[in-house]
Chains A and B, each alone.
Chain A
Amino acid sequence: MDDSSEIKDPAAIAVSPYDEMVTGGGQIRFHWQPVMGALRTLPPGALAERMERARRQYDENGVTYNVFADAHGAARPWQFDLIPLPIPADEWDEIEGALAKRASLLEKILADLYGPQTLIAERLLPPALVHANPGFLRQCHGIVPANGAPFIHFYAADLARGIDGKWRVCADRVNAPSGAGYALENRNVLMRTVPELFQSAHVRRLAPFFEMWQTALANLAPRHRENPRIVLLTPGPYSETYFEHVYLARQLGLTLAEGADLTVREGKCYLKTLGGLQQVDVILRRMDADYCDPVELRQESAIGVAGLLDAVRAGNVTVANALGAGAVETPALLPFLPGLARKLLGEELDIASIETWWLGQPDVFANVAKRIEDYVIRPAFGGETEPATDASALDARKRQALVARIAERPWRYVAQARLQKSAMPVWSPNGLQPRPTMLRAFLVRHEDGYVPMPGGMTRVAADDNGVDISMQRGGASKDTWVVVREPQNFVMGPRASGGREPLRRSSGELQSRVADNLFWLGRYAERLDDTARLMRACLMRAPAGGVSAREVAEFQALARMLASRGLIELRFSGMPDGRAMMEAIANACGPDQGISHLFQAIQRIAPTVRDRLSGDMWKVVNDLLKDARLRLESRTGDVDWLFEGVDHVIGVCAAFHGMAAENMTRGSGWRFLDLGRRIERAVYSTAMIRDVFAAAGSQGGEPWLRLLLELADSSITYRTRYMAAIQPAPVVDLVLCDETNPRSVAFQLRAVAEHLDALPQRASRPLSLPEQKIARGAISAIELFDVERLSSIVDREAVALLDELLGATATRLSDLSEAITRAYFSHVTTLRAIGYESMTGPEGQA
């Protein structure tokens, strides 16, 4: 535990980084003493156990960071460390002030760039920083944010401390900065897992910052200031920081919206909800600006909102940060900031930027080229995803090649001095290890100034090399403390709680897109369940190898049912033997077969509704289902193994439905999930009854009815109810007409009708909506059916009537699904770009 506090070799000190925890004299710094003191009180091995506990918490809360390149799928667990970075309050106050000033300066620069551009005309800013900068959106020039809203509502700065102990700004984050939500979650997890740390330290709370942020967002609304509708615009579940989008939306009380949830009509932006279109006043943007509007920005963007720029220009919606604010995110701006601060603020900046040179100036480039090994070369434009090149790591030939590459387009590069970043301890099983450290600080514009979060997201490099520290490159994050000496009213104890929340009974209107996806999630989950049941019934008859003629007939009927659902391929004709049947089922379970398409469909939809599912439900659809699929796909051939695999799928489906029933609030979201499930089950049961009667044909008899009961999972109910021999009328009554049997068709239809009545009213609603009429029609047709007539399964006339009813019910169910789609999901269509495909200018004048 004390390995970092060793006194260092004096010769090493000169080249060592600044140590956050220990002074040059080997003393633990004063503000670190509560941290180290608390850690020392823990029994040996405790930190390892706490790390594990924290890992579980992040996991349960679904804290992830998505990395596209990650072979393990999109989401990667959050990397963290339990030792916080404490910063004394007086030092923090200076950082705060300096960053607030810096944010104001960037705001003024943006106002000029998107307005008169006097800074370029007066040669304070090279025009290339604007014209060659993809972050500068020409389409946004001339837009003045509505109602005095700032360009920069939310600002983040990446800070690092050099060997002199002074902080420097390494990068400004203005486009759509991430990390504030992770910072809050880091704090929450640390408080729960190592509460001892907070016992003797007085740490400023983060919650008031988020409360202030809510108010500041509401103040951005061009109208409806008392109760504005604010959405957080996310690129969706495949974005790197999707977890944070969900988390922040909840924290700030915003509706999480994807581009497809919003639409622009008559120059106003609306949220598409089940209740109709609801006007949106403010958009907190977590989408890259150029993807936000396919009409005027990137035309190929399928995730944006068509016409958004028009709505912004009309002053009907405020986007924060403003579209185009990313123009000042370029490191090429850094060398010009001091001059711009003098011009625009009449002041100097209080925290310097990391030493940076823009290579678009020939004399600057010439100087840098001479000593290129002293610099890290970075692209001036483009996101943080582009790697930096540390020229000192290159041999002479590669250095020359680098200079030659820069010379082709020098304005695209900056050279930065290598900053020896300060080190702080990171826990590892082998004790504490020093790691290069960076701090991301966050500020929100409130009233006339920028208010900082007292803390931030500390990040440490994955190894000793600290050129690039980022979560994308496997770094870890830590809690950041602003430590005050005396407890004050804003200091928190070990038990923290946010402000008092007003009571709410619903989580706002459901977006049509989400409703659509939940509906289909319900349908596919049920279809998977039904399919697995059919397969199980089939497998149960297989081991005997088809001894009796009846068993063979049942087997055949089941095989045909599976085949008609596209699940198995019937390669054989005539009488199937057990072996052929087994092969067909084993194939059906394999990868890229019928059942795996169902798994795929569920796994495709589930992430899109992730924020509507509880952690446990998510685990079921994500982990358990994946696991069940793998198990099934690996079990070809062996009947018992297959049987067990199919059984397992049924268990997972049951867990999912059970959790939906027990854990989801009875809002519209649950209703759509259940609607999908009910309609699917009604479709399945209707088809199954029909198929069994068709298979029974004139052979008639009890065995077929028994099969029907088995497939409908109603054997036990039947036995407790009738105790007698199995007869057609009571069986059909139980599986078709009985509204108390949760497996009957009538039960599903009744549930569907109830859901439809309870859904939010649509505008200009007629007395009865088409989908309600269809549902009631289907119910009454079944009610009117004279089930007593089915005295015998071979009564052709009665069976024909039953078949007719089942056929009509199947048609009604498909109409019902379509009517629901039209009524609730119809505006969930994808955007397509169109334009001139070719241009054939005339040639040859006379």
Chain B
Amino acid sequence: MIYDVVHRTTYRYASAVDVSYHTLRLTPRELPYQRVLRSAVIATPAPLRIADRVDWFGNKVSHISLEEPHDELVVDARSVVDVAYPPPPDAVKTPSWESVRDALDGGGLPVEWAASEFTRESPMALIDDTIRQYAAPSFPKARPIFACVLDLNSRIKRDFVFDPRATGVATPVEQVMRLRRGVCQDFAHVMIACLRAMGLAARYVSGYVRTYPPPGQKRRVGADASHAWVSVWVPGTGWIDVDPTNDLVVKDEHVVVGWGRDYSDISPIRGVILGGGAHELDVSVDLAPSDPSAEAKEDR
């Protein structure tokens, strides 16, 4: 499936900012199941310096700096992406979750050392007894790992209420567990913490998801948002993406920008400004099938 993605971020400052530095993670990754056909990130006013690199997790990063006074910054990220995830494995045929846990531990020296990084607690997905207790019912003895994951994915969808007002970008998992409310980022963090509490490897995936208007209404351009979901490591298959916000296995309606241990590794834009007073932030995201006829068909 081919999508056009437009992700626009606007900062408006009460008074002029003298210098600002921003780190952008807005360019979708090239993956075996995701081809990036076109992609561009344009900042206005034009930065004096742009330094591109690939971060530790393999994500594309741009560091930009603006060194002339400015009272607005617009970052426009556009891409055309072709996504087709491979079908997930047959859950019952995946290895038991305990065997995966043991392989990732490896007595301290695991062979799968790269995946083992994602078994560690990270700043925004801390593990406590509440998490351990919540996770446990999905992991009965000897259950195949992917069956555990699907069960946990469904439970989170069932037990948590989607509520954008309940949490913010820095809400800790512990609070989400208490509120039983939140957004995609919170549900992803809960699931990641649960999987890691069981000794499994889970990463936080940042990107976009296709949305559908309520029946009888037109799709509103720009009304979408960034999305986040979870990737879990299953030996023999590799990383499999599941979306606890929507209780599904990712197929061809998600576009991956990048991943990390949690949100703090992959926030789309973070920056530091000198001066500027108060600021306003406006974000708009639009994801639409590239082929209009495809959409037309679905409207019917």
Residues of A within 8 A of B (CB): 120-121, 123, 126-128, 131-132, 138-139, 141-142, 263-267, 294-296, 299, 306-307, 310, 313-314, 358, 360-364, 409, 411, 827, 829-846
Within 8 A of A (CB), among B29-54: 48-49, 51, 53
The segment out of B81-89, B90-98, B103-111, B135-143 that lies at the interface is B103-111
Residue of B nearest to A307 (CB): B21
What 10 pairs across the A-B complex have the smallest Cβ distances?
A841-B184, A846-B212, A361-B108, A138-B56, A840-B164, A835-B270, A131-B117, A127-B113, A843-B162, A841-B227
Please indicate the chain B residues that have their CB under 8 angstroms from the CB of A267 in the complex. Answer: 49, 51, 65
Residue of A nearest to B214 (CB): A846
Please indicate the chain B residues that have their CB under 8 angstroms from the CB of A836 in the complex. Answer: 169, 267-270, 281, 283
B 261-278 binary contact with A (CB < 8 Å = 1; else 0): 001010111111111100
Assuming the A-B contacts A139-B55, A295-B23, A306-B21, are A829 and B275 also in contact, with contact meaning beta carbons closer than 8 angstroms in the complex? yes
Bound together, the chains give a CA A120 to CA B109 distance in angstroms of 8
Assuming the A-B contacts A361-B108, A834-B271, are A839 and B212 also in contact, with contact meaning beta carbons closer than 8 angstroms in the complex? no
Contact between chains at A833 and B272 (CB < 8 Å): yes
Bound together, the chains give a CA A27 to CA B57 distance in angstroms of 62
Residue of B nearest to A136 (CB): B56
Is the CB of B154 closer than 8 A to any CB of chain A?
A: no
Please indicate the chain A residues that have their CB under 8 angstroms from the CB of B107 in the complex. Answer: 361-363
A23 to chain B, nearest CB (A): 43
The listed residue (B18, B113, B225, B246) touching A839 by CB distance below 8 A is B225
Assuming the A-B contacts A138-B56, A842-B225, are A837 and B168 also in contact, with contact meaning beta carbons closer than 8 angstroms in the complex? yes
Could you show 27 A-B contacts with beta carbons less than 8 Å apart?
A: A123-B113, A127-B109, A127-B114, A128-B120, A131-B116, A131-B117, A132-B120, A139-B56, A141-B56, A142-B56, A265-B48, A266-B65, A296-B63, A306-B19, A307-B21, A363-B107, A833-B271, A833-B272, A834-B271, A834-B272, A834-B281, A836-B283, A837-B168, A838-B169, A839-B183, A843-B162, A845-B210
Please indicate the chain B residues that have their CB under 8 angstroms from the CB of A138 in the complex. Answer: 55-57, 265
**Most B CB within 10 A of own CB, among A141, A829, A835:** A835
Residues of B within 8 A of A (CB): 11, 18-19, 21-23, 48-49, 51, 53, 55-57, 63, 65, 67, 105, 107-111, 113-114, 116-117, 120-121, 162, 164, 167-169, 183-185, 209-212, 224-228, 245-246, 248, 253, 263, 265, 267-276, 279, 281, 283
Bound together, the chains give a CA A838 to CA B65 distance in angstroms of 23
Assuming the A-B contacts A139-B55, A139-B56, are A834 and B184 also in contact, with contact meaning beta carbons closer than 8 angstroms in the complex? no
A830 to chain B, nearest CB (A): 8
Main secondary structure of the interface of A (DSSP, over half): loop
Contact between chains at B56 and A841 (CB < 8 Å): no
Please indicate the chain A residues that have their CB under 8 angstroms from the CB of B185 in the complex. Answer: 839, 841
Other A-B contacts than A840-B164, A840-B225, A844-B162, 13 sampled, CB-CB below 8 A, are A123-B109, A131-B117, A131-B120, A295-B21, A295-B22, A296-B23, A299-B272, A411-B108, A838-B168, A839-B263, A841-B183, A842-B209, A843-B246
Please indicate the chain B residues that have their CB under 8 angstroms from the CB of A131 in the complex. Answer: 116-117, 120
A57 to chain B, nearest CB (A): 43
Please indicate the chain A residues that have their CB under 8 angstroms from the CB of B226 in the complex. Answer: 839, 841
Contact between chains at A831 and B108 (CB < 8 Å): no
Please indicate the chain B residues that have their CB under 8 angstroms from the CB of A846 in the complex. Answer: 212
Please indicate the chain B residues that have their CB under 8 angstroms from the CB of A363 in the complex. Answer: 107
Contact between chains at A126 and B109 (CB < 8 Å): yes
B156 to chain A, nearest CB (A): 12
Bound together, the chains give a CA A123 to CA B112 distance in angstroms of 10
Bound together, the chains give a CA A99 to CA B175 distance in angstroms of 48
Assuming the A-B contacts A836-B169, A841-B245, are A263 and B19 also in contact, with contact meaning beta carbons closer than 8 angstroms in the complex? yes
Bound together, the chains give a CA A202 to CA B8 distance in angstroms of 72
The listed residue (B49, B116, B169, B274) touching A829 by CB distance below 8 A is B274
Residue of B nearest to A133 (CB): B120
Contact between chains at B63 and A310 (CB < 8 Å): yes
Bound together, the chains give a CA A278 to CA B121 distance in angstroms of 42
Assuming the A-B contacts A361-B107, A363-B107, A829-B274, are A845 and B23 also in contact, with contact meaning beta carbons closer than 8 angstroms in the complex? no
The listed residue (B23, B105, B108, B263) touching A358 by CB distance below 8 A is B108
Contact between chains at B271 and A842 (CB < 8 Å): no
Bound together, the chains give a CA A834 to CA B209 distance in angstroms of 25
Bound together, the chains give a CA A25 to CA B107 distance in angstroms of 48
Please indicate the chain A residues that have their CB under 8 angstroms from the CB of B110 in the complex. Answer: 127
Bound together, the chains give a CA A310 to CA B283 distance in angstroms of 26
Bound together, the chains give a CA A307 to CA B47 distance in angstroms of 14
Bound together, the chains give a CA A363 to CA B106 distance in angstroms of 11
Bound together, the chains give a CA A725 to CA B83 distance in angstroms of 98
Bound together, the chains give a CA A555 to CA B252 distance in angstroms of 85
Residue of B nearest to A839 (CB): B185
Residue of B nearest to A143 (CB): B53
Please indicate the chain B residues that have their CB under 8 angstroms from the CB of A364 in the complex. Answer: 108
Residue of A nearest to B64 (CB): A310
B180 to chain A, nearest CB (A): 15
Contact between chains at B211 and A295 (CB < 8 Å): no
Contact between chains at A832 and B246 (CB < 8 Å): no
Bound together, the chains give a CA A836 to CA B105 distance in angstroms of 35
Assuming the A-B contacts A833-B270, A836-B267, A839-B228, are A845 and B169 also in contact, with contact meaning beta carbons closer than 8 angstroms in the complex? no
Contact between chains at B21 and A842 (CB < 8 Å): no
Please indicate the chain B residues that have their CB under 8 angstroms from the CB of A835 in the complex. Answer: 169, 267, 269-271
The listed residue (A265, A360, A361, A843) touching B184 by CB distance below 8 A is A843
B70 to chain A, nearest CB (A): 13
Bound together, the chains give a CA A422 to CA B238 distance in angstroms of 54
The listed residue (B117, B167, B212) touching A845 by CB distance below 8 A is B212
Contact between chains at A838 and B164 (CB < 8 Å): yes
Bound together, the chains give a CA A780 to CA B276 distance in angstroms of 38
Contact between chains at B269 and A265 (CB < 8 Å): no
A369 to chain B, nearest CB (A): 15
Contact between chains at B246 and A844 (CB < 8 Å): yes
Bound together, the chains give a CA A836 to CA B267 distance in angstroms of 8
Bound together, the chains give a CA A844 to CA B169 distance in angstroms of 20
Contact between chains at B283 and A313 (CB < 8 Å): no
Bound together, the chains give a CA A125 to CA B248 distance in angstroms of 38
Assuming the A-B contacts A127-B117, A845-B210, are A840 and B183 also in contact, with contact meaning beta carbons closer than 8 angstroms in the complex? yes
Assuming the A-B contacts A361-B108, A837-B168, A842-B209, are A265 and B67 also in contact, with contact meaning beta carbons closer than 8 angstroms in the complex? yes
Bound together, the chains give a CA A834 to CA B116 distance in angstroms of 32
Bound together, the chains give a CA A267 to CA B65 distance in angstroms of 9
B154 to chain A, nearest CB (A): 15
Please indicate the chain A residues that have their CB under 8 angstroms from the CB of B246 in the complex. Answer: 843-845
Please indicate the chain B residues that have their CB under 8 angstroms from the CB of A838 in the complex. Answer: 164, 167-169, 183
Please indicate the chain B residues that have their CB under 8 angstroms from the CB of A837 in the complex. Answer: 168-169, 281
Contact between chains at B21 and A128 (CB < 8 Å): no
Assuming the A-B contacts A266-B65, A310-B63, A833-B272, are A839 and B184 also in contact, with contact meaning beta carbons closer than 8 angstroms in the complex? yes
Contact between chains at B211 and A842 (CB < 8 Å): yes
Bound together, the chains give a CA A836 to CA B266 distance in angstroms of 11
Residue of A nearest to B228 (CB): A841
Bound together, the chains give a CA A295 to CA B109 distance in angstroms of 34
B247 to chain A, nearest CB (A): 10
Please indicate the chain B residues that have their CB under 8 angstroms from the CB of A132 in the complex. Answer: 120-121
**Most A CB within 10 A of own CB, among B57, B253, B270:** B270
Contact between chains at B113 and A121 (CB < 8 Å): yes
Bound together, the chains give a CA A127 to CA B109 distance in angstroms of 7
Bound together, the chains give a CA A829 to CA B15 distance in angstroms of 14
Contact between chains at A834 and B270 (CB < 8 Å): yes
Residue of B nearest to A826 (CB): B18
The listed residue (A299, A843, A844) touching B270 by CB distance below 8 A is A299
**Most A CB within 10 A of own CB, among B169, B228, B276:** B169
Contact between chains at A295 and B63 (CB < 8 Å): yes
Assuming the A-B contacts A839-B263, A845-B246, are A827 and B18 also in contact, with contact meaning beta carbons closer than 8 angstroms in the complex? yes
A368 to chain B, nearest CB (A): 13
B63 to chain A, nearest CB (A): 5
Contact between chains at B281 and A120 (CB < 8 Å): no
Bound together, the chains give a CA A266 to CA B47 distance in angstroms of 10
Assuming the A-B contacts A263-B19, A265-B67, A841-B225, are A834 and B55 also in contact, with contact meaning beta carbons closer than 8 angstroms in the complex? no
Residue of B nearest to A842 (CB): B211
